[in-house]
Amino acid sequence: MISYQEALDIISKHPFKAKSGQLKLEEINGHVLNEDILADRDFPPFDRVTMDGIAINHAAYAKGQRDFAIEKTIGAGMPQSSLEDASNCVQIMTGAMLPLKTDTIIRYEDITIEDNIATINVDSVRHKQNVHFKGEDKKQGDIVLSKGTVLGAPEMIIAASIGRPTLDVLLPPKAAIITTGDELVGIDELPLEHQIRRSSNYGVQGLLQQWYIDAKQYHLVDNKELIVNELSSIIETVDLLILTGGVSRGKFDFLPEVLEELGVVKHFHKVKQRPGKPFWFGTAPNGTTVFALPGNPVSTFACANVYIKHWLSHSLGTNPQTIYVKLNQDIDFLPPLTYFLECRAEFNVSGELVATPFRGHGSGDFANMSHANGFVILPDNKTEFKKGEVYPYILYRKDF
């Protein structure tokens, strides 16, 4: 068996080559930008008023003037106007163009208006206050979104503001999820006493959806010839193949043998970890990446969160920041294995991210997963983990 870190290093050496494509603005959320986006004009494109109030020439105020006759009223979307008399003011609204010959905005809260005369009631008015000046954020031609950015709601705002209805992005891999085993039946079927419903695959599918990957679902019974025929066909249609179950040492665990027959190069099989020790990773002759995960729900879910997410991030170049949590209780774990322990991480009143562990009854005990929101990663070189110690955390649910 190899170590957890060795497994990560090997997976990093076998990324998929993402293709690029144009997506509509409303489809880009979660995708990785594959181009630099430049400002088509200055940001903001004009001297923009940021408060409702009056626009004045500050020089008049500096000379002691406090009463200003209102020449006109300007709203957002109206062409730029000009102050005709420097001793007067313009009544103006947020978002409007700053009138020529004015340079300072006084908000309504700091003035009174009577008989078309605006009186300033505050003692301090800063020159150029409440104005967002042209090009202050970005100049025309500046990069506003860099290649490699993970796109979200803020980036959609920026792209829309510069007139980009489509963007060039890295497309996620085409994926398939395959369950194996005669003991598994569909979720809409009534299991016999010796059967269980398929469930691990839906956890993997849910994770892939979080990562904006669509995946087709398949189920194969424990028949080696059938598995060979089906796998050889499916592998040719996808970039990512995820198998759940059939990778241990049981007599009906055909997958390692079948994958070898199909020419899939094994990079490793079995990792010194709990859960998910029988985890298998390889690459098919056509370049398809194959993750064969243990079938128990917690094992499947942990391996997918730790390793498939790592593979995807490395392939797309996103390299997300590692999250760290502080244990809120002592933990003992004797085997020399990396331990992925289900926890619920929450911020305490001091702003620290603190993890509460859920120690279940093995990799088949998936009831705690709905209460937890991630896995704390406890290293294999210790057996005692003390309250207050800090360790890496794999977050699978963003609920804080």
Q: Is the pLDDT of residue 40 over 80?
A: yes
What CATH number did the domain enclosing 156 receive? 3.90.105.10
Please give the full DSSP string across 162-184, using - where no structure is assigned.
TT-SEEEEEPPPPEEEEEE-TTE
Sole residue written with tokens 């392939």: 315
Overall number of domains in the chain: 4
Same domain, 178 and 297: yes
Going from the C-alpha of 84 to that of each of 45, 49, 57, 104, the distances in angstroms are 24, 19, 11, 15
Same domain, 199 and 287: yes
φ, ψ for residue 180, nearest 5 deg: -135, 150
Report the alpha-carbon distance of residue 30 to residue 213 in Å, rounded. Answer: 10
Same domain, 28 and 54: no
Q: Per-residue pLDDT averaged across 80-87, rounded?
A: 97
Residue 43 lies in a domain: no
Q: Is the pLDDT of residue 366 over 90?
A: no
Residue 400 lies in a domain: no
Classified as helix, coil or strand, 382 is coil
Q: Are 286 and 292 in contact (CB under 8 A)?
A: no
The pLDDT value given to residue 68: 98
List pLDDT tens digits, range 178-228. Answer: 998 778 888 888 988 888 888 889 999 999 999 999 999 999 888 888 889
User: What tokens does 151 get?
Assistant: 């796109």
What CATH number did the domain enclosing 386 receive? 2.40.340.10
Among 189, 38, 48, which residue's Cα sits nearest to residue 105? 48
Q: Per-residue pLDDT averaged across 124-141, rounded?
A: 97
Same domain, 183 and 247: yes
Q: pTM value?
A: 0.87
Helix, strand, coil % (nearest 5) of the chain? 20, 30, 45
What CATH number did the domain enclosing 309 receive? 3.40.980.10
Q: Max alpha carbon distance in the chain (Å)?
A: 95
Residue 113 lies in a domain: yes
Same domain, 277 and 224: yes
Q: Burial letters for 255-279: b for 16+ Cβ neighbours within 10 Å, e otherwise?
A: bbebbeebebeebebbbbbbbbbbb
Query: Residue 232 belongs to what domain range?
Result: 4-18+172-316
Burial class (CB in 10 A: 0-12, 13-18, 19+), 27: middle
Instruction: Look at 115-124, 246-255, 300-309, 325-334 and tell me which has the smallest mean pLDDT.
Output: 246-255
Please give the full DSSP string across 244-312, using - where no structure is assigned.
ES--SSSTT--HHHHHHHTTPEEEEE-BSEES-TT-EEEE-TTS-EEEEE-SSHHHHHHHIIIIIHHHH
